[in-house]
Amino acid sequence: MVSYAVPTPPQAHLDITGSDEKFPVRRIYCIGKNYVAHIREMNADERDPPVIFMKPADAIVKNGGEIPYPVFTNNFHYECELVVALKSGGYNISEADASKHIFGYAVGLDMTRRDHQAAALAKGLPWEVTKAFDLSAPVGPITRVEDCGVLTTGHVKLKVNGEVRQDSDISLMIWKIDEIIAKLSEQHRLMPGDIIMTGTPAGVGAVVTGDVLDCSVDGLAPMQLRIGAPAV
């Protein structure tokens, strides 16, 4: 029995639709630049391959939550994304075997300090300040793959205060889910509890205190997030 000198951090977890069990989150992998229309709106090179980055597991915010408007930004953006949750993993998973490792899917938000992303890109600096900050990973309940099937198509949609801002289809991903799992596993040993944010379609934008975000992907439980007063 290990005795810890300071309180142990809680295990980050997500709800599972139709179950009292929880899904423990180990790592949050994220794919950037995975929809051509979003690459164009960011004025990035659409021939570059998608990028991989991470958020810490304790950045998770569950469905229906409110987050304070974060410190250290004046341009806080939403990115609505399909999230894939893994039940198993390994190195060098083939595209043919990738779907065997999927536990289920959820709707998530890759919340972004867009002002610092531009600065990080310009200077070649790491992305933690723009992507991996506190409460930057709201994710809804997971739908088990047994209940929704393996997803390859379906609308992905985000509304801000009832107005549609993002409306695309997950079939338009540049790297498909099987390719993402294969590519990631070339670099990292994927494990049960890992989740993958698969990239956002076009239509990203800023939110302010008081905004309500409603996110959905066809066949999955929707997610809502409210933006509260600034963090102190």
Q: How far is the CB of 184 from Mn ion (least distance, A)?
A: 15
Burial of 134 (0-12, 13-18, 19+ CB in 10 A): middle
Angle at the Cα of 171 from the Cα atoms of 167 and 176, rounded to 5 degrees: 125
Q: Which stretch binds Mn ion (CB under 5 A): 5-13, 75-83, 120-128, 154-162?
A: 75-83
**Residue 2 CB, nearest distance to Mn ion (Å)?**
36
Rounded CA separation 117/76 (Å)? 11
Binding segment for Mn ion (CB under 5 A), chosen from 109-117, 162-170, 171-179, 222-230, is 109-117
Reported as type and span, the H/E element at residue 184 is helix 177-187
Q: Name the residue among 223, 58, 41 with its Cα closest to residue 135.
A: 58
State which residue, 63 or 200, has the beta carbon closest to Mn ion.
200
Q: Considering only residues 50, 63, 77, 110, which one is a binding residue for Mn ion as defined by CB under 5 A?
A: 110
- 200 in contact with Mn ion (CB under 5 A): yes
Cβ-based nearer residue to Mn ion, 73 or 200: 200
Helix or strand (DSSP H, E) at 77 = strand 76-78
How far is Cα of residue 115 from the mean position of the Cα atoms in its chain?
19
Binding of Mn ion at residue 79 (CB under 5 A)?
yes
Q: Which is nearer to Mn ion, 63 or 130 (CB)?
A: 130
> Under the rule (CB under 5 A), what is the footprint of Mn ion?
79, 110, 200
